[in-house]
Amino acid sequence: MNTQPIGIFDSGIGGTSIFKEIHALLPYENSIYLADSKHAPYGNKSKQKIIELSVKNTEYLLSKDCKLIVVACNTATTNAISLLRATYTIPFIGIEPAIKPAALNTKTKAVGILATKGTLSSALFHQTTDLYSNGIKVIEQVGEGIVPLIENGKATSNEMKSLLTEHLKPMIDANIDYLVLGCTHYPYLMPLLLELLPKHVKIIDSGLAVAKQTKTILEQNQLLNLNNTTPQNLFYTNTNTTVLNDILNKKFKVDYLDF
């Protein structure tokens, strides 16, 4: 039994989509979530800068005695997780665009990937795509502008609708039947995606898979918290707390922290 918290970080509020899956699967685990919104978006930063920010977030979570860290950000995972794993001894769980299920199941032989520039240009993303994209058209689209709008509480705004219409057009023109969400902010686009995409397009998001992997790794390392008591789930942001509070439906404790 282990009551130490699970640490979770993202460039901002997007990783709450992962927290929600983890909390649903592991309702008794304590957790600490860091929303580095002051430095969002990570997606347009250099690999070096993404590593530096990921190390800073990790150091803070380790100082709070976290037993495992979930890198709830595709951009940070694809650019920094190998270094984090090589540097620290606790387990790290990451998230990457789920190309494999899309590539294996597509009937139209065309799949779309919406992700940040940092993710799409990473070596890890290219390795995975090369492995599964044989005979398939992969339409990669940088989700330019999406993260800042979500960080400002505009996930379902008209501004977002116009932006998404533009980003999705090349994929719809290529007749995709799968869209892979390659950024943890993007599940919050679901209402607009369902409105804008043709009905036959399936949307793939890796949130649940990350939660299942978190559970497996906790079990394997005997780190599960077996207490059936109400956990402490803490949230910290280094910008104002309103949007983070709203996205969590005001159900958790959200505080400002200067990190």
Q: Which residues here bind ligand DGL, judged by CB under 6 A?
A: 10-12, 14, 40-43, 73-75, 116, 119, 147, 183-185
Nearer to ligand DGL, 6 or 35 (CB): 35
Q: Please say which residue, 187 or 231, places its beta carbon nearer to ligand DGL.
A: 187
**In the complex with ligand DGL, which residue's Cβ is closer, 74 or 233?**
74
Distance of closest approach, residue 13 Cβ to ligand DGL, in angstroms: 9
Q: How far apart are CA 175 and CA 137, in angstroms?
A: 10
> Which residues on adjacent β-strands are paired with residue 203?
179
- We find the least distance from the C-beta atom of residue 59 to ligand DGL, in angstroms, to be 19
The CA-based diameter of the chain, rounded to the nearest angstrom, is: 52
- How far is CA 199 from each of CA 77, 87, 175, 190, 196, rounded to the nearest angstrom? 31, 45, 12, 13, 9
Q: Which residues contact 15 (CB under 8 A, 6 or more apart)?
A: 8, 9, 33, 35, 70, 72, 73, 184
Q: What is the bridge-based pairing of β-strands 68-71 and 6-10?
A: parallel
DSSP state of 187: G
User: Is-catalytic flag, 66?
Assistant: no
Burial class (CB in 10 A: 0-12, 13-18, 19+), 16: buried
Closest contact distance (angstroms) between CB of 128 and ligand DGL is: 15
- Per the CB < 8 A criterion, the answer to whether 231 and 28 are in contact is yes
Toward ligand DGL, which CB reaches closer, 10 or 21?
10
Q: Which of 66, 183, 189, 197 is catalytic?
A: 183
Active-site residue, 183 included: yes
CB of 127 to ligand DGL, least distance (A): 17
Give residue 255's Cα distance to chain centre: 21
Closest CA to 186 of 170, 216, 163: 163
Comparing CB distances to ligand DGL, the nearer of 75 and 225 is: 75
Q: How far is the CB of 222 from ligand DGL (least distance, A)?
A: 30
Per the structure block, which two tokens stand in for 172? Answer: 């719809």
Catalytic pick from 32, 53, 69, 73? Answer: 73
Catalytic residues: 73, 183
